[in-house]
A and B are shown apart, each in its own frame.
Chain A
Amino acid sequence: MGPFMSPFNNLLCMLLGISFTVWFTLLLVFIIVPAIFGLSFGIRNLYMKTLLKVFEWATVRMERGAKEKNHLLYKPYSLNGIIAKEPTSLEEELKGIRRNGSSRDLNGSASTTTGPSPSSSEFEMSDTFYFCRRGIESIVDDEVTKCFSAEELESWNLLTRSNYNFHHISTRLTVLWGLGVVIRYGFLLPLRLTLAITGVSLLVVFTTMIGFLPNGSMKNFLSEKVHLMCYRICVRALTAIITYHHSENKPKNGGICVANHTSPIDVIILASDGCYAMVGQIHGGLMGLIQKSMVKACPHIWFERSEVKDRHLVAKRLSDHVKDKSKLPILIFPEGTCINNTSVMMFKKGSFEIGSTVYPVAIKYDPRFGEAFWNSSKFGMVNYLLRMMSSWAIVCSVWYLPPMSRQEGEDAVQFANRVKAAIARQGGLVDLLWDGGLKRGKVKETFKEEQQKLYSKILVGTQEDRSRS
């Protein structure tokens, strides 16, 4: 028994050893070394083009199969929604009702002017129709609920999670899908996990080491290099294919970088192309460890949970940071929560009150390769990361927009809206006024009051005129 086993054992060990060595060498040469130097072999772009061709083929097959079986394949959703919403405001609507015939006679004395003056704007029972119709419209289709669920695709990318009408269309397609599952979970996922672990460990180790150096230009230089290197490894860990536009507008020291928020990956995407000071709450566990070691190498702004509520403290720390020109630009996501990358929601004004130059950045993901939106009510963080790492790729475009500053006579809210509009325009996203906090919180009473104020102005404003005359 003995002599028979040992040559096999040896052979087995040798084979395992060789394959591991080959594996790690390939990893090192093709992925890690380029990451360190910021180079690229173009493998990912080739991969992306191949995938697109495969998806096209798959979609054509599905359409053909659906036609044969006479199924309705895609949901008949147009991007505009279920109903055509009238773009009229409350005022226009009420004027319309009045003009169409009111049950009142117009007194000769009241109407001194000809034309649509609202001198006869008094309460009519049909006024409720406007609010009723708007209410029913919002039941059928509202803007906010749509923002917090993943975008629907028009073609299929061989991931069951993004296909809502998956039937068995043809054997060839199912085989292809099965092959896709094997590749993604058997090959890509372990590869990516290895890279992710490597990237994170290197970050923690190197930043801790750099923390021992005295403050100075050497420390900053090394810290920059280390941060970039580790983020680039993480980018490859997600197979993220990023296109940066207008790099001449990249944020500079003493400024604030604002971007729209779709997922926690946004941070990795931006930080692999430039160095930023991050802002956030200190977490426990692994995240906390990473945060603590990062701050040893260069000053990031981490808050204790209790400090987050204190707006003045937050504002003070941020403005102290930007005043120091040797410190890196701050990275902030003013929406406050993850939105599904079809629209941009209200920007919180805190970061726009500080008074430094704002560098807007628009990030748009291509959903064909994997849905990057983190629906935190549906998936936890770990689940989300696993889904990311088992998608085909994350493809996105980043646009650096020209810097903006607050103008004379503009308050923080108007400035925030201006920046938001610029980001929405560049990224091809819908610009919404709604607050991202609506994802979790209740609607503030102030919104209802706005509508009540508007309506009362139309009614009561004219009553005052009448009592005066």
Chain B
Amino acid sequence: MGSTNSTLLKIPNVEVLMRETGFSPAHIIRLHDRFKALDKEGRGYLCPQDFGAIKELAMNPIGDRIIGAFFSPRETVDFHTFVKILAHFRPVDKDRPKEPNSPEPINSRSNKLKFAFQLYDQDKDGKISRDELLKVLRAMLGMQVTEEQLESIADRTIQEADLDRDDAISFEEFRKSLEKVNIDHKMSIRFLR
């Protein structure tokens, strides 16, 4: 069972959380401390302003989209949600046996792609429209490029990825265009022991 730590005991349903996300007890404790550090007023949940206070995130060109990914169907983030979303970024467990009845782990390649997809697809209609693509490009490039350059980049991207010619990129087309990319490496962060 391992050592009983009083911090772990204070978190409700922590066993379920560990099983669903695959984080170890040590990781959960550290994430809990981080959660408390971000929750400056000690309310037990986080709001968008708490994330906005992280300076490095505020400097990130797509920082507000990442915050949106935490908050889109909800207004506050409790510890469970916080951990579950961060679990997307755990490295893929290579030696996990494929049980046919168990649900797909949160950090599977497919779920990582779904997370990335929602950064583009802000209106959640399951497709990245040309407009949405332009918005992401503008966020990442700022005022450094002209409107024409942006449009040509967007056009070319859609042309290459859009296989059914509906002028938008669905999730399947998104996945197909990235099939050679090492998603596990690019969308994982290494948690120390």
Give me the interface of A with B, judged by CB distance under 8 Å: 70-72, 75-78, 80-84, 97, 100-104, 122-145, 149, 165, 167, 434, 438, 442-443, 447-449, 451-453, 455-457, 459-460, 463
In the complex with contacts A141-B34, A455-B140, A83-B189 CB distance below 8 A: yes
Check: B122 CB closer than 8 A to any chain A CB.
Answer: no
Q: What chain B residues lie within 8 Å of A453 (beta carbons)?
A: 142, 144
Q: What chain B residues lie within 8 Å of A128 (beta carbons)?
A: 62, 116, 119-120, 136, 140
Contact residues, B112-160 vs A (CB, 8 A):
115-116, 119-120, 136-137, 140-145, 149, 153, 156-157, 160
Bound complex: CA of A447 vs CA of B63, how far in Å?
Answer: 13
Q: Is the CB of A78 within 8 A of B86?
A: no
Give me the interface of B with A, judged by CB distance under 8 Å: 3-7, 26-27, 29-31, 33-34, 37-38, 51, 54-63, 66, 86, 89, 115-116, 119-120, 136-137, 140-145, 149, 153, 156-157, 160-161, 169, 174, 177-178, 180-183, 186-193
Q: What chain B residues lie within 8 Å of A449 (beta carbons)?
A: 142-143
Bound complex: CA of A84 vs CA of B54, how far in Å?
Answer: 18
Q: Is the CB of A456 within 8 A of B55?
A: no
Q: What chain B residues lie within 8 Å of A134 (beta carbons)?
A: 56, 60
Residue of B nearest to A377 (CB): B40
- How distant is A453 from chain B, measured CB to nearest CB, in Å? 6
Residue of A nearest to B141 (CB): A456
Q: CB within 8 A of B3: which of A72, A75, A82, A448?
A: A72
Q: CB within 8 A of A122: which of B38, B56, B145, B156?
A: B156
Q: Is the CB of A448 within 8 A of B5?
A: no
In the complex with contacts A71-B5, A76-B26, A125-B120, A131-B140 CB distance below 8 A: yes
Q: CB within 8 A of B180: which of A100, A131, A137, A141?
A: A100
Q: What chain A residues lie within 8 Å of B37 (beta carbons)?
A: 145, 149
Q: Is the CB of A459 within 8 A of B60?
A: no
Q: What chain B residues lie within 8 Å of A434 (beta carbons)?
A: 55
Q: What would 17 A/B residue contacts be, using CB atoms closer than 8 Å?
A: A71-B5, A72-B7, A75-B30, A76-B29, A82-B27, A82-B30, A83-B190, A123-B153, A126-B181, A128-B140, A135-B62, A139-B86, A144-B54, A144-B55, A145-B38, A451-B60, A452-B141
Q: What chain B residues lie within 8 Å of A84 (beta carbons)?
A: 189-192
- How distant is A135 from chain B, measured CB to nearest CB, in Å? 4
Residue of A nearest to B160 (CB): A103
